Structure 1
């Protein structure tokens, strides 16, 4: 019987590059499975149903809730997001490590249901880099971007509850650190200690940036 795969929760501010890190990790190693989340938000340009997200309407999303088919679900900036439970169970039983890209509220729901889950938080190098990544995406209005930044400042207060903290400054370095932690979870505490101060500094940077931009 195969050893059950790990359940890895990866959270981070909107625009930090979680999707890019996860895609590169899966490109390099075949032992991972990305759990595609369900969402009621509209697809961005280039996004495909079933690849980036399962794009559902509110009625379809509510049906999943009623049928108890979501491992977690939460609201974020006016939309709903959730993790289908069946694929997670199936892939872990097959021995693959399951990666969840979910925000903080959902992450704590999963941790409560699955205490063995490993919780990791990705940080940007600075508030300015985070802001520029959101702007350069070109998919949202400035009002929406400012709301996402304000939400990030609020989320920063919960980062210390994660098992590990990584800074996504260099993609190659971040991907390899993530891979190492998944194979040796004790390393999570090491990276948390190294980057804990950066998390606190970043919160202040975001708040200052929003003040400068009139938010």
Structure 2
């Protein structure tokens, strides 16, 4: 069950961001942003990672409430109608969203909050929270990205084709974001993210 925590202040959403900090990490499917985020959280347990809500099925090893909150499409649509999401988007036939009140509560308490979300959601955050820091993770090349997506062996050929078309569109949007980091060497990319967060 997705926790919804009350905001402990009458501050507006944008005012909350002056107390804590919101960082958005995005990039195309297969670029390695999830792996980077996991390593970042292991190194820095003081970060608050906002667990997204999704309608897709869990992948092997994923835990409900830790990897994602896995819910039905009808429940997701109900939460959208109730304005429970800070941002939400449809990707590869599934919905993804960020719980609003939980994130604002953490920012209001002074935490550094990190989101790992898709491009459409990241654009929503940039529009409503201009003070949020946005980081776009790029692959070293499109061929390498395709290789990574195929190596996961989790998608049909049709799903892979959809992801690659979407990835090409997303990479074109990299310049919209404050910082671009190429995930060629994993350790280098992780160090660059740390430098951005803790400079």
The two structures share one fold, judged by TM-score above 0.5: yes
User: Equivalent residue of 1:82, what SS?
Assistant: strand
Partners of 2:194 and 2:70 in 1: CA distance? 29
Q: Distance in 1 between matches of 2:73 and 2:191?
A: 38
Tell me the equivalent position of 1:69. Answer: 84
Match of 1:136 among 131, 142, 151: 151
- Ranges in structure 1 where 5+ consecutive residues have no aligned partner: 185-215
TM norm structure 1: 0.81
In structure 1, the residue matched to 2:45 is 30
Query: Which residue among 142, 165, 169 is the counterpart of 1:150?
Result: 165
Report the CA distance between 1:159 and its aligned residue.
Answer: 1.2
Aligned to 2:185: 170
Secondary structure in 1 aligned to 2:172?
A: helix
| 2:58 paired with 1:58 | no
The structure that is helix-richer by fraction is 1
Q: Decide whether the 8 Å contact of 2:27 with 2:171 is kept in 1.
A: no
Instruction: Give matches, 1:71-90, under 5 Å.
Output: 71-90=86-105
Deviations 1:82-140 (A, max 9, x none): 11012211221222211111111111111122111111100111222211111111111
The question of whether the paired residues in 1 share the 8 Å contact of 2:138 and 2:171 is answered with: no
Q: CA deviation at 1:5?
A: 2.3
Deviating beyond 6 angstroms after TM superposition, the runs of 4 or more aligned structure 1 residues are none
Using the TM superposition, give the Cα deviation of residue 40 of structure 1 relative to its aligned residue in structure 2, in angstroms.
Answer: 0.9
Equivalent position SS for 2:31: coil
Partner residue in 2 for 1:126:
141
Q: Are 2:64 and 1:49 equivalent residues in the alignment?
A: yes
SS at match of 1:72: strand
2: distance between equivalents of 1:158 and 1:127?
14
3-state secondary structure, aligned to 1:116: coil
What is the CA-CA distance between 1:27 and the residue it aligns to? 0.8
Deviation per CA, 1:170-215: give whole Å up to 9, x if none: 222111111111233xxxxxxxxxxxxxxxxxxxxxxxxxxxxxxx
Q: Tell me what 1:92 maps to.
A: 107
- Paired with 2:122 and 2:80, the residues of 1 have a C-alpha distance of 17
| Distance (whole Å) between structure 1 residues aligned to residue 189 and residue 91 of structure 2 | 26
Alpha-carbon distance in structure 1 between the residues aligned to 2:106 and 2:191: 22
Query: 2:130 matched to which residue of 1?
Result: 115
